[in-house]
Amino acid sequence: MTLSSDDSIDTRSWDDLRELGGPDADAMIAELIDIYAEDAAQLVSSLLKARQAGDRPSLVAAAHALRSPSASLGALRLAERCRLLELAAGAAAAELPAGLIDDLLRELERVLAALTSLRPQP
């Protein structure tokens, strides 16, 4: 795994994106990052509302919606935290591990900062 300077992004994932984007890779990656940041903001809002309401299905849905695009952009630690939240929130009898959502949100902040610094300027 090749990580960004703050280890929140596996930059090898970007090789695949660059190959997929061909000569327009920088513009494509910049657009993907912009879309990801917008979607992440909405999902954070959903996560916080679901946590406050104790709405486990909505927690699962928001974590699931964030996991795949995070992995696609190389945010593998964040994707793993999303997976863990999905599992924990989906286990009806179990208590959510203390701090799981907060850990996910802190990692998302790191990811967004790293993506901003890595974002190509087309």
Residues 15-66: tens digit of each pLDDT: 888 898 899 999 999 999 999 999 999 999 999 999 889 899 999 999 999 9
Residue 3 counted as domain residue: no
Residue 2 counted as domain residue: no
- pTM equals 0.88
Say which residue, 92 or 108, is predicted with more confidence. Answer: 108
63-90: b or e for each residue (b if 16 or more CB lie within 10 Å)? Answer: bbbbbebbbebbbbbbbebbebbbebbe
pLDDT > 70? residue 96? yes
Structural domain tally of the chain? 1
Residue 112 counted as domain residue: yes
The predicted structure's pLDDT at residue 83: 96
Residue 73 counted as domain residue: yes
Q: Which domain holds residue 56?
A: 12-118
